[in-house]
Amino acid sequence: MQLEQIWQDYSGALRGFLRKRVASEADVDDLLQDILIKTHAHLSDVRDPAALRAWLFQVARNATIDFYRVRGKAQGIQADDLWYGAEEEASVLSELEGCVTPFLAALTDEDAALLRAVDLDGRPQKDVAAEMGLAYSTLKSRVTAARAKLADQYRACCAMELGAKGEILEVTPRKKRCGGC
């Protein structure tokens, strides 16, 4: 496993992950740098290459928790007050993250690129619309349509139990319909 290739493959997804949890882009950049350093220092600890993605996102979760823990201590806030229920959500999401690639490959190149940019890399839709030369409302419609196509593929392969707000609570593969992700 080469660090350069790993970072090329996962840095965009890690940036998107961090952007959803940290408001400042400068803090996201700092956290990404910390994750890169930790990856360099501890990559040899990863015995199973199939577990690499989950390991990287665990490093990112821990870096985010440490970030808020340090900031919270400076402001007199306890870390437990900031992170309720995150472990359960992260567990289910990490199972799904490895499954995204085959489903994206089944979409058109345009839909897959759009979802990679917006959902995996966490880039703002307004920025993506400007880069593509599209009206923001047009891009939003295309993202919604691409997400619906992706959701249809997931539903054909996996039964999902959703919470009241639409969050994924449990995923069960449909063995007859799914090639395994």
CATH number of the domain to which 56 belongs? 1.10.1740.10
Model-wide pTM > 0.85: no
Whether residue 66 is found in the same domain as residue 9? yes
pLDDT at 174: 73
Please, which contacts does 156-161 make with residues 24 or more away whose CB atoms are closer than 8 Å?
A: 157/103, 157/181, 158/99
Distance (Å, whole) CA 176 – CA 139: 35
Angle value at C-alpha 59, between 57 and 64, nearest 5 degrees: 95
Q: Please tell me what DSSP assigns to residue 24.
A: -
Closest to 127 in 3D by CA, of 119, 136, 138:
136
Distance (Å, whole) CA 38 – CA 49: 17
Side chain identity, residue 21: R
The token duo for 36 is 């890169």
Domain coverage including residue 113? 99-181
Closest to 56 in 3D by CA, of 80, 40, 79:
40
- 169 Cβ partners below 8 Å, 6+ apart? 92, 160, 161, 162, 163
Query: pLDDT under 50 in the chain at which residues?
Result: 82-93
Whether residue 85 is found in the same domain as residue 103? no
- Of 60, 94, 128, the one marking the end of a domain is 94
Whether residue 107 is found in the same domain as residue 149? yes
- Of 39, 64, 94, the one marking the end of a domain is 94
Whether residue 85 is found in the same domain as residue 29? yes
Whether residue 131 is found in the same domain as residue 176? yes
Whether residue 16 is found in the same domain as residue 81? yes
Whether residue 20 is found in the same domain as residue 73? yes
Which helix (DSSP H) or strand (DSSP E) does residue 39 occupy? helix 25-42
Whether residue 32 is found in the same domain as residue 80? yes
Domain count of the chain? 2
Whether residue 87 is found in the same domain as residue 105? no
Side chain identity, residue 104: L
Whether residue 146 is found in the same domain as residue 117? yes
pLDDT at 92: 44
CATH number of the domain to which 161 belongs? 1.10.10.10
